[in-house]
Structure 1
């Protein structure tokens, strides 16, 4: 079993790290209207782990305000983590240009459909897609039922605080019911990877 990572308070760094292509993960590299205000979460990946768990819950850090334009809206609507109070929120960073994102899309949708009655919400963040119509086609073609923020410049990620690996796409974060970071996956996921983690975190706040 991997040792639990520690989350602790940290100040928002003034700039994101340079964007790199992470070949080992087959991750491929890249609107400015996203709102991002830093929280107290500071990313820590002991030993370069790709599956990081922040336990106990009291040790988890909160993210800042994470919101932005709804990818599928033509009316200027926005979507935000704050739209899901008291729910577990699975945040997935994706791009239609990214092969691993295409591969994991059915698994994410399956977990979403099977856990939403447990008080679990999903929120995508579409990054580095400067042609919005192609990103929308990805959502339609993959029958994705949850919303995504359209953020080609990745400004929303400032809400995650400093040292977050913006070069790794796809990335998935699981926020607990208090919207603290409970888990981070720096790789494409299968149903069997994500489902038990989401179910466990959802059960933490079950009455």
Structure 2
């Protein structure tokens, strides 16, 4: 049933796609798109689970391996966008993502791109620099990082976006191009959540 749902999604989306879906084991997250939906939300929070390991070379600095264990992501909501400079919808979407990043990073949101199927690193760097994109990306031309993510995530759908909560569990998946107005309320809602034992921003108890 999962395979049928994923095939239905890929046939309906207007984004860029190529190759075959890859399945990998890791974490406890399992992607399921009920009824072939392109916007999937995992609520209540107790229904969420963590993906497999996410790590790869920094697009801007090949000597640095980026991962969700980096301090810039610790305790934050993390928006993960799968993109390629060769993908038309990605070109339109990336500035929308930057707008949401600018609006939410002070509230505890981090962004991470995964640049896939780009065999020319410089072209990808030029893409982000020309658009003044200030959040980092993993350079993943062979899609090893995305495959290791696991959970039967449909790797043919580009662009796509995942949103992880502060515990780095998958809270939302978008299998389409996004506008800032699509993503911002989702990120803002998640930044109001917090790991167990930590009160969300703006909801501290009265001082004594």
Give the TM-score category using the shorter length.
0.7 to 0.9
- Find out whether 1:65 has 2:28 as its counterpart: no
Specify the structure having the higher radius of gyration (Cα).
2
TM-score (norm 2): 0.83
- Offset, 1:196: 0.2
Is the Cα contact below 8 Å between 1:22 and 1:167 reproduced in 2? no
CA distance in 1, matches of 2:152, 2:179: 26
Equivalent residue for 1:117? 106
The correspondence of residues 69-88 of structure 1 with structure 2, limited to 5 A, is 69-74=57-62, 76-83=63-70, 84-88=73-77
The correspondence of residues 165-204 of structure 1 with structure 2, limited to 5 A, is 165-204=154-193
Unaligned runs of 5+ in 1: 1-16, 31-35
Is the Cα contact below 8 Å between 2:51 and 2:151 reproduced in 1? no
TM-score (norm 1): 0.83
Equivalent residue for 1:164? 153
Equivalent residue for 1:6? none
CA distance in 2, matches of 1:22, 1:133: 31
Return closer, same or farther for 1:37/1:45 CA change in 2, 3 Å cut-off: closer
- Find out whether 1:138 has 2:127 as its counterpart: yes
- Offset, 1:65: 1.6
Determine helix, strand or coil for the equivalent of 1:82.
coil
RMSD, matched Cα: 2.0
Aligned pair count? 184
1:43 to 28, 31, 48: 31
Unaligned runs of 5+ in 2: 1-5, 195-199, 202-208
Determine helix, strand or coil for the equivalent of 1:123.
strand
Query: Once the two structures are superposed, what CA deviation does each residue of 1:17-65 show, in whole Å capped at 9, x if it has no partner?
Result: 99x97573232436xxxxx971110001000000000011111010122
Is the Cα contact below 8 Å between 1:69 and 1:78 reproduced in 2? yes
- Offset, 1:148: 0.2
CA distance in 2, matches of 1:37, 1:81: 17
Is the Cα contact below 8 Å between 2:80 and 2:162 reproduced in 1? yes
